[in-house]
Structure 1
Amino acid sequence: MGIVKKSRVRELSIDFLAYLIGSGLYAVAVNTFSAPNNIAPGGVTGLSILINYVTQAPIGTVMFLLNIPLFLLGLYLLGWKFIAKTVVATFMMSIIIDVTAPFIPAYQGDMILVALFGGVLEGLGLGLVFLRGATTGGSDLAARLLSLKFPHLSLGRLMLSVDAVVILVAALVFQNVESVLYAVIMLFVSSRVVDGLLYGADRGKMILVVSRKSGEIAKEVMDQLERGVTLLQGKGAYTGENQEVLLCAVRRHEVAKLHTIVRTVDPDAFWMVAEAGEIMGEGFKKLKAPDRKKRRNKT
């Protein structure tokens, strides 16, 4: 029981640290780049910046209030454990945005720099929160909810779709086409950074090789690249011959070496290279099973 408690405290501490750092980065993005330059980069944050522009209401406070309906919907669809983390992360971010607003200097120089650096900081802040299994509400939570319906789409792309609506509203409020265009740049950069943090470290290539020498190729791949290989049973539709299809996942920089191996062993091999958005397992991102461990400890 003591081991379980210690592990739980450690996980909560890491969560808190990630939320704190992520909130700080996001606060800099909002207070230094977005709000002072009338850029509403989508989502509840963008709506809060618009409301602040019109009423001078605190951005962080408005963010939290606007998120309450999404919290209730998320509680119903995603469960209280996920929403509990999201409420904590959103509350921290709202507080930090309002508390740091008077102390963080605003940058009102080159608008391209505003969009780029604002997008990077926003993406880093959101990505840290996402990595710990929460969101910061708004389009982040909306993207999580949409991912239940569209699991094949990344969070970054779903956020991009949701935020586009807010950007259109910002065009009417600010009545400035340039601020909207910069918001699009910031939003795009942010979504790419989020995807990079969540999936970038585990992206790679999936290789399929059809060859009469698949066994030899597999041996060379395991010896030279130290990558696991799976041999699938296939059958040529035209020839009717049974053939083995080699399946292998590699890092991007290993594709050229694998190409050399295949062509050296069998110049007539047929092969395909596909993008692998996320690879989990030995040699890549490790699978975790905290629930199973907890059950074993309890027994």
Structure 2
Amino acid sequence: MKNTDSRKWARGLALDLGADLIGSLIFAVGIVCFTEPANIAPGGVSGLAIIVNYLWDVLPIGAVSMIINIPLIILSFIYLGKKASWRTIKSLVISSLMIDWVVTPFFPVYQGDLLLGAVFGGVFIGAGLALIFLRGSTTGGTEIVSNLMRLRWPHISMGRAILFVDCAVIALSMVVFGNMESGMYGIISLFCSTKVIDAIIYGFDQGNMVTVISDKNEEISRRIMAEIDRGVTLLHGKGAYTGKEREVLICAVRKSEFARLKSIIREIDHSAFVVTTEAGEILGEGFKPVNKDGTF
């Protein structure tokens, strides 16, 4: 039993380090080769490090990122817990070393069109961060600040908290760089990185949650299970106006299966009442599995 646990721990550590190394390399390319040369600060601590480096140029970007993150890491240990904080330190150190010691000395810098620099910078940054996020880690900065903000204002969503911090950094970049274009390109880069992160993390598990109210739900459910091989849940419901009791069908499907699901419903009951909800991620049997340790 202990040997099995040890192998599982070693495998998890190897995957964590692999994701950190590859993700940090891609992330560093986005920062060093595309955004920093164009004076684009794409939000977060990395964007703040670009601004600081532009003003004083005393330390490289990776070192500046680590220094800015020190007080945030301390707050993370106090308020967010040790496990998450140690993971963040690991990823932060690797990404900072990758920026200063691997990408900066050896990789070429793109000096062409600013729009292309913003787009490709955002794509590389998003792809690198997504690989790190997939293993349950972060590079600190924005994620720590947003989590701390949500401790004080729990009604604020994670996305809004991160957006608030990133927009503040982009606004500062416009003041420091002395033009609005830097901020506008920063917004483009931030948008691209966000889209890439969502595509990598959720892209293969996005789908639709469908709620069907019909007098023929039993037949619809049998067709769904037979033809799409998806589970169906039937809930007991009651119409508030009519007082009539009926079953409510709920089913989650991938986007590629949604058209067939609609076709089945239309063939059986064209008067069925159907509500479709976008599902950013679907976990469980038939989709992304949930491991015993709580990871995905």
Does 2:273 align with 1:270?
A: yes
Aligned residue for 1:296? Answer: none
Aligned residue for 2:255? Answer: 252
2:71 maps to a residue whose letter is: P
Aligned residue for 2:111? Answer: 108
Q: Determine the C-alpha separation between the residues in 2 that align with 1:222 and 1:205.
A: 16
Offset, 1:141: 2.6
1:139-150 equivalences under 5 Å are 139-146=142-149
Contact 2:221 2:249 in 1 (8 A): yes
Q: Determine the C-alpha separation between the residues in 2 that align with 1:74 and 1:49.
A: 23
2:117 maps to a residue whose letter is: V
Q: Determine the C-alpha separation between the residues in 2 that align with 1:26 and 1:150.
A: 30
SS in 2 for 1:115: helix
Q: Determine the C-alpha separation between the residues in 2 that align with 1:152 and 1:225.
A: 38
Contact 2:30 2:125 in 1 (8 A): yes
Structure 1 residue runs of 5 or longer lacking an equivalent are 293-299
Aligned residue for 1:182? Answer: 185
Q: Between the two proteins, what is the percent identity of the paired residues?
A: 46
Contact 2:147 2:158 in 1 (8 A): no
1:134 maps to a residue whose letter is: S
Q: Determine the C-alpha separation between the residues in 2 that align with 1:153 and 1:50.
A: 27
Contact 2:125 2:193 in 1 (8 A): yes
1:182-221 equivalences under 5 Å are 182-221=185-224
Aligned residue for 1:31? Answer: 32
Q: Determine the C-alpha separation between the residues in 2 that align with 1:81 and 1:151.
A: 24
Offset, 1:187: 0.5
Offset, 1:140: 2.8
Q: Determine the C-alpha separation between the residues in 2 that align with 1:109 and 1:62.
A: 26
Report which stretch shifted further, 189-198 or 21-30.
189-198
How does the TM-score come out when normalised to structure 1? 0.93
Structure 2 residue runs of 5 or longer lacking an equivalent are none
Aligned residue for 2:237? Answer: 234
SS in 2 for 1:36: coil
2:50 maps to a residue whose letter is: I
SS in 2 for 1:268: coil
Offset, 1:145: 4.1
Cα gap change, 1:16 to 1:60, in 2 (>3 Å):
same
SS in 2 for 1:91: helix
Contact 1:40 1:49 in 2 (8 A): yes
Question: Once the two structures are superposed, what CA deviation does each residue of 1:108-134 show, in whole Å capped at 9, x if it has no partner?
Answer: 101111011100000011111111111
Report which stretch shifted further, 50-59 or 215-224.
50-59
Runs of 4+ in structure 1 displaced over 3 angstroms? 143-155
Contact 2:30 2:124 in 1 (8 A): yes
Does 2:168 align with 1:168?
A: no
1:99-138 equivalences under 5 Å are 99=101, 100-138=103-141
Aligned length: 291
Cα gap change, 1:186 to 1:150, in 2 (>3 Å):
farther
Does 2:35 align with 1:2?
A: no
SS in 2 for 1:191: helix
Q: Determine the C-alpha separation between the residues in 2 that align with 1:184 and 1:163.
A: 9
Cα gap change, 1:265 to 1:150, in 2 (>3 Å):
farther
Aligned residue for 1:297? Answer: none
SS in 2 for 1:37: coil
SS in 2 for 1:190: helix
Offset, 1:85: 0.7
Question: Once the two structures are superposed, what CA deviation does each residue of 1:40-94 show, in whole Å capped at 9, x if it has no partner?
Answer: 1111111111111111121100100100111111112221111101001001111
Cα gap change, 1:289 to 1:250, in 2 (>3 Å):
same
Please point out which of 67, 70, 75 is paired with 1:68. Answer: 70
1:79-118 equivalences under 5 Å are 79-99=81-101, 100-118=103-121
Contact 1:118 1:186 in 2 (8 A): yes
SS in 1 for 2:36: helix
Cα gap change, 1:262 to 1:291, in 2 (>3 Å):
closer
Does 2:272 align with 1:285?
A: no
Report which stretch shifted further, 137-146 or 251-260.
137-146
Offset, 1:252: 1.1
SS in 1 for 2:248: strand
Cα gap change, 1:131 to 1:146, in 2 (>3 Å):
farther
Aligned residue for 2:23? Answer: 22
